[in-house]
Amino acid sequence: QVQLVESGGGLVQAGGSLRLSCAASGRTFSSYGMGWFRQAPGKEREFVSGIDYSGFSTKYAASVKGRFAISRDNAKNLVLLQMTSLKPADTAVYYCAAGRGSGYSDDTKFFGSWGQGTQVTVSS
């Protein structure tokens, strides 16, 4: 089992930036893919970005492509989500998730462990 702790959320004005961090412990971090999801009030949890075990392969939702960047530091057991040009529509609770395998997916079923979430609020 993997334990995940997110940090870095907060309140930011539209056009601003935030960087989310997710610290992992438990399984060997470099053996599994990671993902970021978000959930806004009244909406289903949606895929934001994913990264494979090596960090060389990534994927983004169309709504964030070109604005968000995912990365990982396997030496520090960290996965990061750099968010720029933020919009009010990005307001949500952001969750990091650990995959069951070495790749990534936009399907929540691929992920076996989830963090507690961190709130991101973008004001207009």
Q: Which pLDDT tens digit goes with each residue over 92-105?
A: 999 999 999 999 99
Closest Cα partner for 62 from 79, 53, 49? 49
How much is the pLDDT for 27? 86
CB 69 within 8 A of CB 61: no
What residue has token string 């999801």?
37
47-101 pLDDT, tens digit per residue, is: 999 999 999 999 999 999 999 999 999 999 999 999 999 999 999 999 999 999 9
Q: How many Cα atoms sit within 13 Å of 32 on the Cβ side?
A: 22
End-to-end alpha-carbon separation of the chain, Å?
A: 39
What residues pair up with 5 in beta bridges, in sequence order?
23
Average pLDDT over the chain, rounded to an integer: 96
Q: Is pLDDT larger for residue 26 or for residue 5?
A: 5
How much is the pLDDT for 87? 98
How much is the pLDDT for 41? 93
Q: Is 28 exposed, middle or buried (0-12, 13-18, 19+ CB in 10 A)?
A: exposed
How much is the pLDDT for 1? 85
Cβ-proximal residues to 18 (8 Å cutoff; 6+ apart), any chain:
8, 9, 10, 12, 83, 86, 120
Q: Is pLDDT larger for residue 27 or for residue 6?
A: 6
Share of the chain above pLDDT 70, in %: 100
